[in-house]
Amino acid sequence: MGTHNHHNDYNFSEQFKFAGIAKILSLVAIVVGIAAIAVGLLSSDHIMVERTYANLLLMGYYFTCVCAAGAFFIALQLVTQSGWSAGMLRIPQAMASVLPIASIVLLVIVTLGLTTHNLYHHWHAEGLMDPNSPNYDSLVAGKSAFLNVPGFLIRQIVFMGSYSILAFILAKLSYNEDLAGGLHSYKKSFKLSALFLVIFGFTTPIWSFDTVMSLEAHWFSTMFGWYNFAAMWVSGLAAIVVILILVKKAGYMSWVNENHLHNLGMLMFGFSIFWAYVWFAQFILIWYSNIPEETVYFYKRWEPEYKPWFWLSIIINFVAPLLLLVDRDAKRKSGMMLFVAILLLAGHWLDFYIMIMPGTVDAHRGFGFNEVGIAAGFVGLFTFLVLSKMSKHALAPKNHPFLQESIHHQF
């Protein structure tokens, strides 16, 4: 394994300049998001306040998931010693570097959701676990060893804290590798990535159980964690594709070509099918068994106001990538890949919407300024933070031992 990574045709020291229209739009989106949150929280309408907290949870969770997927991408490439992706690692590294901020944002949201406005009222409400209370719920009380405020918050802090620390260190080691060269940072990254994957793999299902599934505490699915992981992974891949294509259109990262895009397209295609498999398996087992405490989850989502979005989610997140990316050439065309990636990001927003809204907002159906504005705000925040991070370092990990393999990658 060598460290000679220089190639006369490319400038591996080039840095992305985050300025102009991209920066302005991201800042405008953040302002729109802040306005939407302020309008929602200051409203005298109780339902509007509920919608605001629910949308904050949705976007806070989505924001954290996409950044965590960036860290997962890095760790996976390092442990598998994949060479094809070396030239584009700065993008997921920037996403991973933002994970600590995303985690803090989500932690604040879930804490407020427990204290100020009870998003988790299905298990955190007065009397639910007190046998002498008229509100006593034996099913929820039976889960009190897991569903309690101290345990909930401790798990949130431990899980997101461990992901954030490991992700930050992985990104830092890569930047150090640019300065020091050699294999010291790479070897440390390899070991740290193995640790990250073990921790991430065992805890992300529990994290999704806590953050999203407990919004409807009577219902339980052992597939829910992997269903969320699939959505997280596809969304992270889509975000990487969008950033990569737009950065290349701006004239950067010339060493990344259609072969690298093809690999990303295969991952998006394959894991969209995996997402659909887990979605269908969870749905068909509950529908077929016809157990009331299980079917109530889908009964809510089959109400007239939710049912169109329920099926549209399947079309966007499974049927569309299946038909649009099945052809080899489609995965090598930046226009098609950009369209599908944006479609999947919107589709998995809808996926999380269907997961979160029915259990948190009883009287609201549909979309308005609250949903669109808060989503825009978080998109702007993600864009601003990730692109700002990318602008601080060279766009190529110039001393990565597999950079030459990535440059000459063909598929």
Rounded to an integer, the average pLDDT of 155-164 is 96
Model confidence at 1: pLDDT above 80: no
For the chain, what is the mean pLDDT?
A: 91
Confidence category of residue 5, pLDDT binned at 50, 70, 90: very low
pLDDT of residue 299: 86
The number of beta carbons lying within 10 Å of the beta carbon of residue 280 is 12
Task: Please write the tens of the pLDDT for every residue from 229-258.
Answer: 999 999 999 999 999 999 999 999 999 999
- C-alpha 68/C-alpha 103 separation (Å) is 9
Q: Report whether 223 contacts 278 (CB < 8 A).
A: yes
Model confidence at 6: pLDDT above 80: no
Higher pLDDT, 3 or 375: 375
Across 4-8, 53-57, 202-206, least confident range? 4-8
Rounded to an integer, the average pLDDT of 78-86 is 93
Model confidence at 4: pLDDT above 80: no
Confidence category of residue 3, pLDDT binned at 50, 70, 90: very low
- Helix (H) / strand (E) element for 21: namely helix 20-41
pLDDT of residue 8: 53
Model confidence at 156: pLDDT above 80: yes
> What tokens does 372 get?
């669109």
- CA triplet 349, 275, 311: central angle to 5 degrees? 60
Task: Please write the tens of the pLDDT for every residue from 307-342.
Answer: 899 999 999 999 999 999 999 999 999 999 999 999
Q: Which of 52, 67, 5 shows the shortest CA–CA distance to 386?
A: 67
Confidence category of residue 410, pLDDT binned at 50, 70, 90: confident
Task: Please write the tens of the pLDDT for every residue from 105-118.
Answer: 999 999 998 887 77
Q: 400-403: which pairs have CB atoms within 8 A and are 24 or more residues apart?
A: 400/5, 400/86, 400/89, 400/174, 400/177, 400/186, 401/1, 401/2, 401/3, 401/5, 401/183, 401/186, 402/81, 402/82, 402/83, 402/86, 403/5, 403/12, 403/86, 403/87
- CA triplet 361, 294, 321: central angle to 5 degrees? 75
- C-alpha 348/C-alpha 231 separation (Å) is 6
pLDDT of residue 365: 65
Higher pLDDT, 45 or 227: 227
pLDDT of residue 74: 95
- C-alpha 358/C-alpha 204 separation (Å) is 22
- C-alpha 145/C-alpha 199 separation (Å) is 22
